[in-house]
Amino acid sequence: MSVKNILFLVLLLFIPVSLAAQFLKWGELIVFITAALAILPLAAWMGTATEEIAVVVGPTLGGLLNATFGNATELIIAIIALKAGLVDVVKASITGSIIGNLLLVMGLSMFLGGLRYKEQTFQPIVARVNASSMNLAVIAILLPTAMNVTSVGISQQTVENFSLAVAIVLIVVYALTLLFSMKTHAYLYEVGLVESEEISHTKPNIWLWAGVLLACTLLVALESEMLVDSLEVATSQLGLTALFTGVILVPIVGNAAEHATAVTVAMKDKMDLSVSVAVGSSMQIALFVAPVLVIAGRVFGQPMDLNFNPFELVAVTVSVLIANSISSDGKSNWLEGTLLLAAYTVLGFAFYFHPVIDGMG
């Protein structure tokens, strides 16, 4: 049994522990931490189940399934937080996921990969296509903030209407991106999928995996409920603001599966896939998760718009620029990984020092 599997089993123990913490009232801080740890193996299994089912149903439907369930954990946490009225945390977790994927995930991949290999290369072709989609999507979700910052006396209604319009355009673009990557230009994306060694060689039992997917989804939801309910008390006990929690803590839990994949494959010198996961995940947050949350906010009657804290706008812009600057040459080494991690650290300090303002925390 590999180290990875042992770690998984240990993390699975946090499911009953978190339930015990909740019902025996061990305090919000313990519930928060154990629920966060319990989500990690569930998210990983959801990923595996999705891939196994994708093998059976074929590339097109499988790709669609991957694209939709790839961010399932984040979406579940965000929707539960949105229902609970933690709109600021949800918004912060969107920008935090983008920053985390571009700086923390890509940085850790390049750093750890770079310690093993002097120089790693990746096809810039896919990075380019994804990067352009990602750049557009990120810029689009930041425009309502930019409009609010540069105008005086803009009404909340206008910001919400504009956010909805942006959300609809982005979902259309997302659909077209899937069409592009799965139909018209699929050949560009054949960059070595997750290796067969990690997937069972026999034809997977689709009903078994569908059951796993369903069970994990329910458990993630359940644990997310506990995570969200305990969030405010727990983080204020730790002296953290809602902004810091949303931008730094929540995305680490929600994106843990992508983090693990990207770093693992980077250490096997498959930088194509590693960069693809980090950039692609950022792209999906901006093109799919954020628009869905705006529309969900309308449905739930929670005023979810895309009007972020102005410093989040700065942080995301900076992350995109640095990530573009480092990934555009199709090469990486440990120093480039360090630079991304340093940028993440500095932004982390910024959000930690950032004063609490109206409605945040």
The residue ranges that bind a copy of itself (CB under 8 A) are 118, 124, 128-129, 131-133, 135-136, 139-140, 143, 146-147, 149-155, 158, 161-162, 165-166, 169-170, 172-173, 176-177, 180, 184-185, 309-311, 313-314, 318, 321-322, 324-326, 329, 333-336, 338-339, 342-343, 345-347, 349-350, 353-355, 357
Q: In 114-178, where do the E strands start and end?
A: 120-121
Q: How far is the CB of 82 from a copy of itself (least distance, A)?
A: 23
Q: In the chain, where do the E strands start and end?
A: 120-121, 331-332
Q: How far is the CB of 102 from a copy of itself (least distance, A)?
A: 13
Q: How far is the CB of 16 from a copy of itself (least distance, A)?
A: 40
Cβ nearer to a copy of itself, comparing 11 with 171: 171
**DSSP string for 243-287:** HHIIIIIHHHHHTHHHHHHHHHHHHTT-HHHHHHHHHHHHHHIII
Cβ nearer to a copy of itself, comparing 172 with 208: 172
CA distance 273 to 338: 20
Cβ nearer to a copy of itself, comparing 22 with 309: 309
CA distance 307 to 91: 8
CA distance 339 to 322: 9
Helix (H) or strand (E) holding 12: helix 3-12
Cβ nearer to a copy of itself, comparing 193 with 339: 339
Q: How far is the CB of 106 from a copy of itself (least distance, A)?
A: 13
CA distance 146 to 286: 16
299 burial level (CB within 10 Å; 0-12, 13-18, 19+): exposed
Cβ nearer to a copy of itself, comparing 58 with 355: 355
Q: How far is the CB of 182 from a copy of itself (least distance, A)?
A: 12
3-state helix, strand, coil in the chain (%, to 5): 80, 0, 20
Cβ nearer to a copy of itself, comparing 11 with 146: 146
Query: Please, are residues 89 and 246 in contact by the beta-carbon 8 Å criterion?
Result: yes
CA distance 168 to 161: 11
Q: How far is the CB of 75 from a copy of itself (least distance, A)?
A: 22
Cβ nearer to a copy of itself, comparing 161 with 200: 161
CA distance 189 to 276: 9
Q: How far is the CB of 150 from a copy of itself (least distance, A)?
A: 4
